[in-house]
Amino acid sequence: MSASAAAAPAAGPSRTLPINLFTHHSPDSIPSSTYLLPASWRRFQLSELINKVLRTDAEVEAKPVPFEFVIDGEVLRGSLEAWVKKYRQGDEERVVDVEYRRTLRVPQEVARREVEDWVSGLSLARPGYILLSSYLSHLQLIPLASFTSPAQPLTLNLPSLLGATCCTYLSPSSVLSNVRVAAGGVDRLVHIFEIPSLDPSAPSTSAREVYSLHGHTGPISSVISGREGKDVVSGAWDGAVNLYVLPEFEPTEHQLEANPSTFLPGQKKRRKANPSGVSIVEGLNDGDVGEGGWRRGPDTVFRGHNGRVGALVWDKRDKEKVWSAGWDGSVRGWDLEMGQEGVVRQGPMDKSILCMDQWASTGTLATGAMDRTICLWDTREATSLISLTIPTASPVPSLTCHPTSQFTLAAATYSGHIQIWDVRSPKHAIFSVSKAATPAAGAGGKKREVTKNGKVLGERLLALDWDGERVVAGGEDGEVGLWDARGE
Amino acid sequence: MAPRAVQAESSRAAQRKAVPRPAPTAAPAVNGSKKRAAPAPVEEEEEDEGLMNGDQTLEMSDDEVAEGEEEDGNEDDEDFPELDSGSSDGDDEEEDDDEEEDGSESGYNSSDIERMYEDGDEDEEEESPATTPSSSREDLTIDEKLSRMIAKNSVKPDEAIGTDGKISAAKTGKGRVVPSKYVEGSYRREYEEYEAGYGSESSTEDNPNTVGNIPMEWYDDLPHIGYDVNGRKIFRPVKGDELDKFLANVEDPSAWTSVEDKLLQKQVQLTDRELDIIRRLERAENPDKDFNPYQDTIEWFTGKGNERVMPLSAAPEPKRRFVPSKWEHKKVMKIVKAIREGRIIPNKPTAQKPAVYAIWSESDQPHQEHAMYMPAPQLPPPRTAESYNPPEEYVFTEEERKEWEEAEKEDRKTDFMPAKYDALRHVPGYRNLVQERFERCLDLYLAPRTRRVKLNIDPESLIPKLPSPRELRPFPLASVVQYRHPGSTRVRCVSVSPSGEWVASGSEDGVVRLWDLGNGREVWKWDLRGGAVQSVDWSPNAEEAVLVALVEGKVVVLSPLWLVPPAVAAATMEHTNAGFASSAATTKAGAGKEVKGVEAVKWARPGESDRERGVLVTIEVPGTPKQVAWHRKGDYFSTVAVDAANKSVLIHQLSKHATQSPFRKTPGQVQRIQFHPHKPWFFAATQRYVRLYDLAGQTLVRTLQTGARWISSMDVHPGGDNVVVGSYDKKLGWFDMDLGNKPYKTLRYHTKALRSVAFHPTLPLFASASDDGTIHIFHATVYSDLMQNPLIVPLKILRGHRVTEGLGVLEVRWHPQKPWLISSGADGEVRLWCS
């Protein structure tokens, strides 16, 4: 075997240890066998060994992939010998099971881009584009190619100036025309836009709002979509989780009455006199606001949360299930088909959950809360409430689990850090990078203190997304940062 | 026996040879050695003759007796071991030529010395047959010594010694066997005369004076110096004068070797041996001439033939060493059984003897402790002024003396006059002694005394047992969200909406801002354009969204119409606008009827654009209202303006747009107001007191005396029975109204003035904020059981607000449901503190 051949020359007079090398990442797996490796070997030699085994003759000059080695949940830092001495009291007879995985590198900031106001939501679900919602009450679709260019991206305005709180793609990434995106707003509505073409050269005016989803009595905190974009589920501050089923074809009439455009008594007559039809309220609709789409009401309303719904996740394994997490410290599972509550996991009342995501491979939910913790919730029925609590230094308003790995997640914190966590070593984040620490990329002018509309900028991050390769994060600083960050 | 004979011959030869030479160890006395030289050959010749009688010497030592006896023994028993004792060898040599085997040096005892010196004296008179072993040994040559040594060491020691052999000749019959006079044919043993030689020299000394060992100076003035054995006086020998003495000393060559015998009062010539002893002592040697410091080794168990092959005992360890003693066990079990059966009672008190008291004893024993024993108080120790020789400054001057003398006895500072004497013996008797003792006795007799029990309390036990903060979680721990105000403007007030979603803050730039509580986003703002916003407060009615803000001379009712659901917004509009509908009330004071004193209060409708943005009503009030407090139902609210004299406290009714002044005459400068959480009562805090009024009955219910100089803040527990009051003099008072009008607890822990205190609406928490920039979080459980006092536990000090221009945290408010705290500071920040 080539492995033993590789090991043989180095062995010599030194002692050898029986080592089992395995990985969970199947492309990197090597034939499972017990190798007798020199005790003095370190990470580098082990990594070389695996590279040699993996490499075929054809790709000899390929760049070796660095690996990292984990023994019993502990990353190997010194030599194998030192590990055996420390944890096995020098017992060299027993086989050591060594898991290896590709080394994660420190996230490198690639670029950053100023936006006009605080960033409230980000999505990397469609490759090549960043979907961004901001408190300036608009959605932006930024192509990654022109991320740093000053060119104005496709911007979609919400009909009020109160701000957008979240955004998501409705259409799956396979759909290339008439892409639908959704944004939740402080104005208690979910706005659904249709973009005819993603081509940046196309005029943005052709994009329009198709639907305005009514039904919430508080600002929207989270909106997700499922079933190829036909179902939209939104959670809001009023504690309700609403399911909207969008019709196949665009309707021709509103389902609901419009919200009152004024609360002043006796103003309706005068409004008719107003030729524009819209009375301007300062701070509400005095800017370039969009127009509302077809108003629709919820098809199902799930009530259960006592207080604000913090986050929603469409179950990545069960298409008929939605998870919601609330400020009352509970995580609830909703069965869409039955239209009822499936699972309730009630945590401490003061654990106000701000964000949630799910690992596709294991179904474990990860939540970030106001009480400065990241919690893992096992979704299977008969297990404990919170399987793991990871203390962070500040509240976690946004987190994303790695799309393929079952152990890593990226989290943004109110202290302005982007952290990558491995739940196998929950004491410290693997990496923690902050935007403040890195110099402003291409910041020519002076530092902004306030936005154009007088909102103070800070360091807190509010939104983050991770596709396994790149991390985008933004928040109170009015910037979107792009990092190279892998993790599996 | 042949080799023995040879040895004997050789030793004798050696002796002969040695004779002419001066003895190497001879006494240094010249005359002694001279005398000795001549008779030495005779000595040898007569050796054999003098077989018998060792009694030729007067002072026969016991050794010599033994020798004499030994001869007999030797006759009886030839094999008497020569080892027996050293004292016998010398004689053996002389008496039996062939028996000369052993070294004479093996033994030593005290009488040898004597004998050794004696023979020096005796030699002059007659030749003693008993020459001392030492003298004979002196004559031995080296060869002889060697041969003796060889002989000695080559002979195995007699093993019979100590078993059944004779140890001493004294035990067997000695003496001559003579035919019995009385019994025919039988013999009896006849012993020699035996004189007890009592070892000690002094006892056997021929001493005519019998006075004994007394100081002889007792006889100094007597003509005699003692008595002889017969009782006759021994008269003092004639002594010459000093000149005679001197001459005698000069003339007599032996004078320097003579000493005075105190007992006989005469000069005694020291003998040679005494001189020899003196010289030896001078040289720090052993006084015994015969003492050999380099004794030969006697090999008992070593050397050829003497080796011991067996250990002393090869017996194995007996079993009893390992096995516990059965007998002891039995004995112990007997005792145990007795204890079990109660026959032996451990620690049983022994029968006590009746205590007998020495009733007349006056010893200084301490009094027995009993309840009624009260020792008299001690008099103070004397002071310097009471000294017989006090320093000058204590002595009275003329004026003082005069004053002292003129004063009444009771008025005197001291009851004596300090006086200075140069010696204690000059001090006269104290005139007042009897009087003072009498008064003292009178005091002790008349004064009732009580026993002062000194409490000995462990200070640790006085500290109440408080639960640890860890058990009282959750409570705010860290600042997580900051609501950033543009510019650096002080934020005087802050309020959280009843749903816990919005935070309203009023800053000194006159803007009321509305923030998203969770992430600190400013979502709405109203510029009131009226100077600093003094206070904001949300209506407790969750069905509406009404906010009251105070600026100078104006109360503004606000509503974030566009952020709340349309139904709520409509309800709010309806509620606030209802008053306008009743036309008379719109811009006039008082609902319908004229209320005296509120003429200056005017309800006004703002402009349309303002109303569209949510500024619903403005109320013009006199002075600068400082604080607003809502009634729990959300219709009435009260404002207080310190500078508005008797119209400082106003109660406004939103639905009717009516204002009334509850107090015709305010009891002082009202600082703070508050509605009782569930009774129609009203708290008004003036500078020093908190008064509780019954609004329905128009009566004063209670006045709480805070003890503070200037009250800055007040909050009422949601239960209604407890009030906290913070003051500018850094104190916080907790009033339990069941416990009276005084504070149940006064806490002083802030280093600067308190600005705000707040009870959590649902959780047992309260917070206090101060100008020192800190917020203190307390746990405060109020028990429904009236018997149990509230439990107050300090939990956490929150730091984060900067102190700017002497001002720190200006207001704190709790989140209505969660253990979160909102604080506003003079540094222009509003912070959210989360658990």
Measured between beta carbons, which residues in chain A are less than 8 angstroms from residue B478? 372, 394
C-alpha dist (Å) from residue B231 to A82, A379, B213, B725: 111, 133, 17, 119
Could you say which of A186, A259, A264 has the minimum Cβ distance to residue B563? A186
Cβ–Cβ of A218/B519 closer than 8 Å? no
Q: Percentage helix, strand, coil, to 5, in chain A? A: 10, 40, 50
Question: Which of B559, B575, B818, B831 has the most A C-beta neighbours within 10 Å, making it the best mutation to test the interface with A?
Answer: B818
Among B484, B561, B819, select the one facing A456 at the smallest CB separation. Answer: B484
DSSP states of B781-816: E--SSTTSPPEEEEEEEEE-PPPBTTB-EEEEEE-S
Topology of domain A2-102, CATH = Ubiquitin-like (UB roll) (3.10.20)
Tell whether the model's pLDDT for residue B743 goes beyond 60.
yes
Among candidates B563, B567, B609 on the partner chain, residue whose Cβ is nearest the Cβ of A162: B563
d(CA A196, CA B292) in angstroms, rounded, equals 137
User: Which residues, 6 or more positions from B378, have their beta carbon under 8 angstroms from its beta carbon?
Assistant: none
E strand or H helix at A244, and its extent?
strand A240-245
Q: Which amino acid is at A148?
A: T
B520: chain A residues, CB-CB within 8 Å: 458, 460, 476
Q: Does position B497 have pLDDT exceeding 90, yes or no?
A: yes
Q: Do A372 and B612 touch (CB under 8 A)?
A: no
- In 3D space, the residue among A421, A327, A323, A304 whose CA is nearest the CA of residue A364 turns out to be A323
B55 and B192 Cβ atoms separated by less than 8 Å: yes
Tokens of residue A364, six digits: 């474990």
Rounded Cα–Cα distance for residues B813 and B186 (Å): 140
Distance of residue A176 Cα from the nearest chain B Cα, in angstroms = 35
Q: Is residue B449 less than 8 Å (CB to CB) from chain A?
A: no
Q: Give the Å distances, CA to CA, from A53 to A2, A11, A18, B722.
A: 7, 17, 17, 76
> Does the beta-carbon distance from A217 to B486 stay under 8 Å?
no
B82-110 pLDDT tens trace: 444 444 444 444 444 444 444 444 444 44
List Cβ neighbours of B39 (8 Å cut-off, separation of 6 or more). Answer: B123, B127
Q: Helix or strand or coil: residue B467?
A: coil
Q: Per the CB < 8 Å rule, is B474 touching A262?
A: no
Query: Cβ A350–B818 below 8 Å, yes or no?
Result: yes
In percent, the amount of chain B with pLDDT more than 70 equals 75
> How far apart are alpha carbons A472 and A112 in whole angstroms?
9
Name the residue facing B612 among A219, A279, A460 (closest C-beta).
A279
**B23 pLDDT above the threshold of 80:** no
Output the six-digit token pair for B639: 């404002």
Tell the residue number behind the tokens 């995106």, with chain if given: A181
Closest residue to B562, CB basis, from A281, A327, A462: A281
Is B474 in CB contact (< 8 Å) with chain A? yes
Which residue, among A119, A214, A309, A350, would best test binding to B if mutated, counting the most B CBs under 10 Å from its CB?
A350
- Mention every residue, 6+ apart, whose C-beta is less than 8 A from residue B238: none
Q: Which residues pair with B660 in a beta bridge?
A: B651
Read off the pLDDT band of B777 (50, 70, 90).
Answer: very high
The verdict on B573 touching A (C-beta cutoff 8 Å) is: yes
Confidence of residue B131 (pLDDT cuts 50, 70, 90): very low
B613 touches chain A (CB under 8 A): yes
Average pLDDT in chain B? 77
- Supply the pLDDT for residue A71: 82
Say if CB A366 and CB A375 are below 8 A apart: yes
Report chain B residues whose CB lies below 8 A from the CB of A118.
Answer: 521
State whether B478 and A372 contact (CB < 8 Å): yes
- List the single best residue of B472, B475, B477, B480 to mutate versus A (max A Cβ within 10 A): B480
Integer Cα distance of A175 and A195 in angstroms? 11
The H or E element that residue B545 is part of is none
Under a CB-based contact definition with an 8 Å cutoff, are residues A449 and A457 in contact?
A: yes
With CA atoms as reference, the chain B residue closest to A285 would be: B562
Nearest CB to A263; choose among B474, B481, B570: B570
- CB-based contact (8 Å) between B518 and chain A? yes
**Contacts with A455 from chain B: Cβ below 8 Å:** 486, 521-522
Q: Which residues from B are below 8 Å from A454, CB to CB?
A: 486
Q: H/E/C letters for each residue in B756-781?
A: EEEECCCCCEEEEEECCCEEEEEEEE
Q: How far is B835 from chain A (nearest CA, A)?
A: 6
Q: What confidence score (pLDDT) does residue A204 get?
A: 57
* A399 in Cβ contact with A368 (< 8 Å): yes
Contact B563, B653 (CB under 8 A): no
In chain B, which residue's Cα lies nearest the Cα of A259?
Answer: B566
What whole-number distance in Å separates Cα of residue B116 and Cα of residue B135? 8
Burial of B222: CB neighbours in 10 Å, binned 0-12, 13-18, 19+:
exposed
pLDDT the model gives residue B84: 40
Q: Does B489 touch chain A (CB under 8 A)?
A: no
* Burial (0-12, 13-18, 19+ Cβ within 10 Å), B511: buried
B10 SS3 class: helix
Look up residue A50 and give its two tokens.
Answer: 């695996």
Stated length of chain A: 488
Shortest alpha-carbon distance between residue B581 and chain A (Å): 11
The tokens describing B249, both together, are: 């000393």
Helix ranges (DSSP H) in A246-351: 268-273
Query: Average pLDDT in the B14-26 region?
Result: 42
What's the rounded Cα separation, in Å, for the pair B658 and A471?
A: 59
Residue of chain B nearest A348, judged by CA positions: B474
Q: For residue B498, what is the nearest residue in chain A, using CA coordinates?
A: A307
Give me the pLDDT at residue B60, please.
41
Question: Which pLDDT does position A383 carry in this prediction?
Answer: 61
What residue spans define the domains of chain A? 2-102, 108-484
Residue B293 burial (C-beta neighbours within 10 Å; 0-12, 13-18, 19+):
exposed
Q: Which amino acid is at B349?
A: P
Domain B667-835 CATH superfamily:
YVTN repeat-like/Quinoprotein amine dehydrogenase (2.130.10.10)
Report helix, strand or coil for B87. helix
User: Are A394 and B480 a contacting pair at CB < 8 A?
Assistant: yes
Nearest 5 degrees, angle CA A407-CA A409-CA A411? 155
The pLDDT tens digits for B438-465 are 999 998 888 777 767 778 888 888 887 8
Q: Do B523 and A218 touch (CB under 8 A)?
A: no
- End-to-end Cα spacing for chain A: 29
Q: One-letter amino acid identity for A352? A: S
| Close Cβ partners of B141 (under 8 Å, ≥ 6 residues apart) | B14, B17, B18
Q: Do B612 and A281 touch (CB under 8 A)?
A: yes
Residue with structure tokens 């004794």? Answer: B295
> Residue B106: what pLDDT?
42
* Shortest Cα distance, chain A CAs vs residue B586, angstroms: 16
A281, A352, A397 ranked by CB distance to B613: nearest: A281
C-beta of residue B34 within 8 angstroms of C-beta of residue B45: no
Cβ within 8 Å of residue A346, ≥6 positions away: A328, A329, A330, A385
Query: End-to-end CA distance of chain B, in Å?
Result: 120
Check CB contact under 8 Å for B835 and A454: no
What pTM was estimated for this model as a whole? 0.63
Q: Which two tokens stand for residue B477?
A: 């721990």
Confidence of residue B248 (pLDDT cuts 50, 70, 90): confident
Q: How many CB atoms lie within 10 A of CB B540?
A: 19
Helices B86-95 and B62-76, packing angle to 10 deg: 60
Residues of B in contact with A163 (CB under 8 A): 521, 523
pLDDT for B44 beyond 50: no
Number of Cα atoms under 13 Å in the Cβ half of residue B552: 7
Angle between the N-to-C axes of helices B272-282 and B110-125, in degrees from 0 to 180, rounded to the nearest 10: 140
For residue B193, the SS3 value is coil
Nearest C-alpha of chain B: how many angstroms from A199?
33
Residues of chain A with pLDDT under 50: 1-12, 269-273, 438, 440-445
B-chain residues within 8 Å CB-CB of A263?
561, 566, 569-570, 573, 612
CA Rg, chain B, in Å? 63
> In whole angstroms, how far apart are CA B464 and each of A264, A363, B461, B467, B793?
59, 50, 7, 9, 10
The mean pLDDT value for B821-832 works out to 92
- pLDDT tier, B597 (very low <50, low <70, confident <90, very high otherwise): low
Average pLDDT of span B600-621: 87
Tell me which architecture the domain covering A108-484 has in CATH. Answer: 7 Propeller (2.130)
Reported as a single tens digit per residue, the pLDDT across B172-185 is 566 777 888 787 87
Q: Which residues, in sequence order, are bridge partners of residue A71? A: A74
Reported as type and span, the H/E element at residue B692 is strand B689-694
Predicted local distance difference test score (pLDDT) of residue B66:
40
Interface mutation target, options A117, A189, A305, A456, chain B, most CBs of B under 10 Å: A456
pLDDT of B171 > 70? The answer is no
What are the sequence ranges of the domains in chain B?
2-157, 204-282, 667-835
Instruction: Please compute the mean of the pLDDT values over residues B253-261 and round it to a whole number.
Output: 81
In this complex, which of B480, B562, B573 lies closest to A162 when CB atoms are compared?
Answer: B562
The encoded tokens of residue B275 equal: 């001189």
Which of B477, B489, B521, B558 should we substitute to test contact with A (largest number of A Cβ atoms within 10 Å)?
Answer: B521
Instruction: Compute the residue count for chain B.
Output: 835
Burial of A349 (0-12, 13-18, 19+ CB in 10 A): middle
Chain A residues touching B472 at Cβ < 8 A: none
Give the confidence band of B224 by pLDDT, cuts at 50, 70, 90. confident
Give the residue on A whose Cα is nearest the Cα of B561: A263
Q: In the predicted model, what is the mean pLDDT of residues B789-795?
A: 89
Q: Is pLDDT above 70 for B666?
A: yes
Q: Which residues pair with A24 in a beta bridge?
A: none
- pLDDT at residue A446, as a whole number: 54
As beta bridge partners, residue B699 has: B694
